[in-house]
Amino acid sequence: MTHVLIAIFSVIAGVVAGIFAHRAIEGKKEEKAVSKAEKILQDAADKAEQARKDLMAETRDEIHRLRQDVDKETKERRSELQRAERKLEQKEENLDRKIENASRREEELRQKLDEIKNREEAITKQESQIIDRLEEISRMSREEAKQLLLSEVESEANHIIGLRLKELEERARRDADKKAQEIIAVAVQRCSVDFTSEIAVSVVQIPSDEMKGRIIGREGRNIRAFETLTGVDLIVDDTPEAVTLSCFDPVRREIARLSLERLIQDGRIHPARIEEIIEKAARDVEIEIVETGEEALLESGVKHMHPELVRLVGQLRFRASYGQNALHHSLEVAHLCGFFAAELGLDENTAKRAGLLHDIGKAVDHKIEGPHALIGSDIAKRYNELPEIINAIASHHEDEEPRSLYALLVAAADAASASRPGARRESLDAYVKRLEKLEEIAKSFDGVSKAFAIQAGREVRVAVSPETTDEGEMQKMAYDIARKIEAEMKYPGQIKVTLIRETRAVDYAK
Nearest to 309, CA basis, from 236, 390, 229, 371: 390
In a domain, 194, yes or no: no
What span, in angstroms and rounded, lies between the C-alpha atoms of 408 and 347? 14
Q: What does the buried/exposed string (b/e) look like for 290-321 if buried means 16 or more CB atoms within 10 Å of the residue's CB?
A: bebbbebbeebebeebeeebbbbbbbbbbbbb
Give 445's contacts (C-beta < 8 A, 6+ positions apart): 462, 477, 480, 481
Residues in the chain: 510
Q: Are residues 391 and 295 part of one domain?
A: yes
Count of other CB atoms within 10 angstroms of residue 491: 18
Strand 448-454 to 233-235 pairing: unpaired
In a domain, 85, yes or no: yes
Count of other CB atoms within 10 angstroms of residue 494: 13
Give 141's contacts (C-beta < 8 A, 6+ positions apart): 135
Q: Are residues 408 and 314 part of one domain?
A: yes
Q: Are residues 398 and 253 part of one domain?
A: yes
Q: Is 160 helix (H, G, I), strand (E, B) or coil?
A: helix
Q: Are residues 95 and 14 part of one domain?
A: yes
CATH number for position 476 = 3.30.70.1350
In the prediction, which pLDDT does 14 show? 65
In the prediction, which pLDDT does 186 show? 60
Give 475's contacts (C-beta < 8 A, 6+ positions apart): 162, 163, 165, 166
Q: What does the buried/exposed string (b/e) look like for 151-172 if buried means 16 or more CB atoms within 10 Å of the residue's CB?
A: eeeebeebbeebbebbeeeeee
Q: Are residues 213 and 81 part of one domain?
A: no
Q: Are residues 346 and 286 part of one domain?
A: yes
Q: Are residues 282 and 410 part of one domain?
A: yes
What span, in angstroms and rounded, lies between the C-alpha atoms of 312 and 360? 7
In a domain, 129, yes or no: yes
Contact 396, 386 (CB under 8 A): no
Query: How would DSSP label each residue in 225-248?
Result: HHHHHH--EEE--S-TTEEEEE-S
- Please count the structural domains in the chain: 3
Q: Is 359 helix (H, G, I), strand (E, B) or coil?
A: coil
Per residue in 28-37, pLDDT (tens digit) is 566 676 677 7
What span, in angstroms and rounded, lies between the C-alpha atoms of 209 and 196? 29
Q: Which domain holds residue 61?
A: 2-133
Q: Of 133, 161, 184, which closes a domain?
A: 133
End-to-end CA distance of the chain: 144
Give 2's contacts (C-beta < 8 A, 6+ positions apart): 51, 55
In a domain, 293, yes or no: yes
Q: Of 366, 401, 419, which closes a domain?
A: 419
Q: Are residues 169 and 84 part of one domain?
A: no
CATH number for position 316 = 1.10.3210
Contact 269, 217 (CB under 8 A): yes
Helices (H), 139-270: 142-190, 210-216, 221-230, 250-266
Q: Are residues 307 and 236 part of one domain?
A: yes
Contact 204, 257 (CB under 8 A): yes
Cross-strand bridge partners of residue 202: 245
Nearest to 208, CA basis, from 243, 232, 234, 254: 243
In a domain, 182, yes or no: no
Which residues of the chain register pLDDT less than 50?
Answer: 191-199
Q: Of 133, 155, 183, which closes a domain?
A: 133
Contact 205, 241 (CB under 8 A): yes
Contact 348, 356 (CB under 8 A): no
Count of other CB atoms within 10 angstroms of residue 453: 21
In a domain, 322, yes or no: yes
What span, in angstroms and rounded, lies between the C-alpha atoms of 139 and 147? 14
In the prediction, which pLDDT does 492 show? 61
Q: Which amino acid is at 489?
A: M
Q: Are residues 443 and 386 part of one domain?
A: no
Q: Are residues 269 and 303 part of one domain?
A: yes
Q: How far is CA 247 from CA 286, 349, 376, in A?
A: 18, 36, 22
In the prediction, which pLDDT does 195 show? 35
Q: Are residues 50 and 71 part of one domain?
A: yes
Q: What crossing angle do the helices spanning 30-138 and 2-24 adopt, rounded to 10°?
A: 160
Does the predicted model carry a pTM greater than 0.85?
A: no
In a domain, 185, yes or no: no
In a domain, 187, yes or no: no
What span, in angstroms and rounded, lies between the C-alpha atoms of 175 and 173? 5
Q: What is the dihedral of CA 232, 236, 238, 239, to 10 degrees?
A: 50
Sheet order of strands, 233-235 included: 201-205, 242-246, 233-235
